[in-house]
A and B are shown apart, each in its own frame.
Chain A
Amino acid sequence: MSLLALERVDKVFGGLRAVREVSFTVEPRAIFGLIGPNGAGKTTIFNVITGVYRPDGGRVLFDGQSVGGLDPASIATLGVARTFQNIRLFRAMTVEENVMVAGHKLHKAGLFSAIVRDAAYAEDERALAGRARELLEVLGLSQHIGDVAGSLPYGSQRRLEIARALMLAPKVLLLDEPAAGMNSAEAFELERQIRFLRDELGVTIVLVEHNMSVVMSVCDRIHVVDHGETIAEGSPAEIKVHPRVLAAYLGQEDEAAEARA
């Protein structure tokens, strides 16, 4: 059974149909690419999946259960985590605290434990900090653990968002342009990390990204949208040569050649 499925999802803003009958399914342990030109509706689709927007038509199924209409916190608790295109870190908090915030599943002691500082509280803090340290290690951020999040370089902030999302112990991780603002060495490292998340942590990945070399290299399936509509779906090899993708997404011949290179 597919882990995440969209069935003819619509999203309308006033007179604009931002998403129009988009359907796709993501299999467990896939790295699924969602691409399209600027304004195609990719982030809107993410916002519908994560409950920021309510779909105006169709259904979003996670693990066979309809999640349309649930609030973002409930959907996150079910196991759908995300990062943001325009980085949304808790800027004044340390790197470690940013990650710990998402550790609700490791947080077992109640508020009373924190107030009286009992053993359950100490155990909780240890577990949260320990898991945060592991995830920061995975994303290569260990040396920044005590730094204020807002002071990190851009690429590190994007990786911190991933570490924070992983703290939810998600089944599906939605990455919204994780390579934006990264240089090619950082992007290459990101590819390795994305594969690691799937292979070692068993997380299913849905990736929105404009960096085609990253998309083509890590994704095993790619879904292409333009003007809110599906125009193609297939393997990276198929998408690279798909005529509608070349026409709509890449536009001109020379850019198409560049993407193929």
Chain B
Amino acid sequence: MSAPAPRKPRWALRAAVAAAGVAALYAAGLGVQAGLIDYVQRILLISGINVILAVGLNLINGTTGQFSIGHAGFMAVGAYTAAFVGVHLAPHVAAALGAGGVADAVTFNLALLAGAALAGLTGVLVGLPSLRLKGDYLAIVTLGFGEIIRILFNNAQFLGGATGYSGASAAGLPPYTTFFWVFFWVIAVVTLIKNVTFSQTGRSLIAIREDEVAAEAMATPTTRLKVLAFTLSAATAGIAGGLFAHLQGGIRPDDFKFDKSIDMIVMIIVGGLGSISGAVIGGVFVAVSLELMRDLQQYRLVLYALLLVVIMLVRPAGLLGQRELGLEWFKRRRRPTESA
């Protein structure tokens, strides 16, 4: 026995499953809005946004084995872009489609994609020069990048400078971020990252993590692949940023400080570096624990540090290590015994 022979894609079936999934998600969204108090809803939405951030960052830090600690910078680029584009696009879309839910959905998703695109482009620009660096050096460059982005926004007067950006209206950015859209994008991003990871591209990324010299000797285009991983990761952080902006109603440069990047590192380390399902668990874990520690505010970083130390002692590879939960995991686990 060897790799699960991929079946011929059945597009009609897939379309049916996708349609059913969207309908179910929409119904669940209505249920959540009707049934859960705002506080719990908010934790759910933050969890979803964290999952997007963690799964994206894991592609660089876990799968490819590079160490980036400036991810809040990409999130900020996505957040500001989506907010700005959303504000300026909304009247035009409303004029074309008529004001209402459809126009809002179109505006919001175009804004999110714009945020993803600009964040991804920033990823290329940062990645091209810096991915020749390894380990600590790359970490320092990405850390510096995150701070530069924040300071740029701090000084960008047309985006509100240090007081932040919330559009022209006094009510702030429109609350586009709903349960449906957050989890629509969670599913889209997790599927994207999972399909990239379980492919020849993903195998090559893991090979870079495992032994870059050997990967090069096996004709792997290491620089191109690292930049690709960085770009995809940055773009997904951009999506998360756009969702975050329209959840908060306004964004400030201080929303994307260094500790935000650390939060993301905690998510992927708690879950297990290199595991997509681990990143999902880690994202939810950080959202919930942050809420529980809200009263402690400035002491939570101390608690995080303690938590990391405990995890390193008890489960050095994180909750899941590099394993995946789900059908693939069981197939993987079964294979050796079948072949024996």
Contact = CB atoms under 8 A, between A and B. Distances in A.
Contacts of A71: 216
Contacts of A165: 217-218
B218 A168 contact: yes
Contact of A92 (B1, B206, B218): B206
Interface in A126-172: 126, 128-129, 132-133, 142-143, 145-147, 164-165, 167-168
A54 B304 CA distance: 47
A117 B9 contact: yes
Q: Which of A74, A118, A125 has the most CB atoms of chain B within a 10 A radius of its CB? A: A125
Contacts of A72: 213, 216-217
A90 interface: yes
Nearest to B213: A88
B195 A114 contact: yes
B199 A121 contact: yes
B2 A96 contact: yes
A117 B210 contact: no
A218 B115 CA distance: 61
A242 B161 CA distance: 80
A146 B1 CA distance: 8
Contact of A96 (B3, B7, B219, B338): B3
B6 interface: yes
A111 B336 contact: no
Nearest to B216: A72
A212 interface: no
B339 interface: yes
A93 interface: yes
A122 B220 contact: no
A145 B2 contact: yes
Interface in A100-136: 100-104, 107, 111, 114-119, 121-122, 124-126, 128-129, 132-133
A118 B214 CA distance: 30
B6 A117 contact: yes
B219 A77 contact: yes
B220 A143 contact: no
A82 interface: yes
A94 B192 CA distance: 23
Interface in A183-217: none
Interface in B297-340: 322, 332, 335-336, 338-340
Contact of A101 (B2, B7, B204): B204
A90 B210 contact: yes
Contact of B196 (A74, A101, A115): A115
A94 B335 CA distance: 10
Interface in A45-100: 50, 52, 71-74, 76-77, 81-82, 84, 88-94, 96-97, 100
B294 interface: no
Interface residues of A, number: 51
A143 B215 contact: no
A111 B199 contact: yes
A82 B219 contact: no
A168 B220 CA distance: 10
Nearest to B202: A114
Nearest to B214: A88
Q: Which of B210, B220, B338 has the most CB atoms of chain A within a 10 A radius of its CB? A: B210
Nearest to B232: A111
Given A146-B335, A168-B219, A111 B8 contact: no
Contacts of A129: 2-3, 5
Nearest to A132: B2
Nearest to A96: B2
A117 B192 CA distance: 10
Q: Which of A93, A126, A146 has the most CB atoms of chain B within a 10 A radius of its CB? A: A146
Contacts of A115: 192, 195-196
B154 interface: no
B58 interface: no
B177 interface: no
A142 B336 CA distance: 11
Given A84-B214, A146-B1, 14 more contacts: A72-B213, A76-B216, A81-B217, A88-B213, A89-B214, A90-B207, A90-B210, A93-B206, A100-B3, A104-B219, A114-B199, A115-B192, A122-B7, A122-B9
User: Nearest 7 pairs between A and B by C-beta?
Assistant: A114-B199, A146-B335, A90-B210, A122-B6, A76-B219, A88-B214, A102-B218
8 contacts: A74-B219, A76-B219, A77-B219, A93-B203, A129-B3, A132-B2, A146-B335, A165-B217
